[in-house]
Amino acid sequence: MIELGCCTDIPVSEAARKKICKIKEAGFDYVELNFQAAAALTPGERREAARFLEESGLPCRAMNCLLPGSLPVVGPEADLGKVREYLETAFPAAKELGAKTVVFGSGAARRIPVGFSREIAWVQLVGFLRLANSYCAPHGLEIAIEPLCWAECNALNTLMEGYRLATDANRPRIGLLADFYHLQRNREDPLDILSASPMLRHIHTANLMDRGFPREGTFKEHSLLFSMLRQAGYRGGVSVEGRTENFDRDVLEAGRVLRQIRDEYRI
């Protein structure tokens, strides 16, 4: 069965803990946390957060935001030595919090500088992913490449580009994420989800019009996503990654809508 998740903050503050309790109340199966924030935690904070997640019964299945913009992996400033130092600290933190999948969106870190060769940038991305793969197995993690819409980044924009990059990296723990918001924003063919299905490891979704949480008015929109996932035989996680001005209200409605869609498609 597909598991439903919601992106939120690491539970080291009372406000973050209350959000996670509300996500649990909404019927979600897991939370998705911020990888960079996890890397910055003290050992004591990591233990505290891991303990809260265990007690809440809502595990951390995934993390997003793999790289900060200060660690570019594309262009003349790319330094895999510094990236290696960062990963050596960050991957153990992700493991301690229970993550299984780390999302490589990180638009600022992969943005191609003006005038820089796109061919060289592609080679650099492959090299980074192969480096990151070497840290995955010891920590029980995998990486999901997230294509970002053209409005947000100038590199790796479509689902099929992400599929080609994962294929070129050719490493067992490197896969692909389909973000339904970005896919729709680009006006990509939803059938690309089927074409990319051999590499799919994770899913993000949000409403196209406002990038908000799924709601009753966007039932048909998200039903299309689940239809594609059913045809693809996908059985991983689907995380809500959206904007909200009323978290408590919107997360409850999103949980209700997505559970109804999942039940209808029996996946």
- Domains of the chain listed by start with CATH number: 3-265 (3.20.20.150)
What CA–CA distance (Å, rounded) separates 197 from 229?
Answer: 8
Average pLDDT, the chain: 98
Mean pLDDT of 148-158: 98
Mean pLDDT (whole number) for 81-101: 98
pLDDT per residue as tens digits for the range 50-64: 999 999 999 999 999
Give the helix ranges, DSSP H, for the chain. 14-25, 35-39, 43-56, 80-96, 107-110, 118-136, 159-169, 180-185, 192-195, 219-232, 247-265
Q: For the packed helices 14-25 and 247-265, what is the interaxial angle rounded to 10 degrees?
A: 30
Average pLDDT over residues 166-170: 99
Among 37, 178, 26, 23, which residue's Cα sits nearest to residue 97? Answer: 37
Q: Name the nearest CA neighbour of 105 among 144, 50, 161.
A: 144
Rounded Cα distance, 233 and 255, in Å: 22
Q: Is the pTM of this model over 0.95?
A: yes
Strand, coil or helix: 58: coil
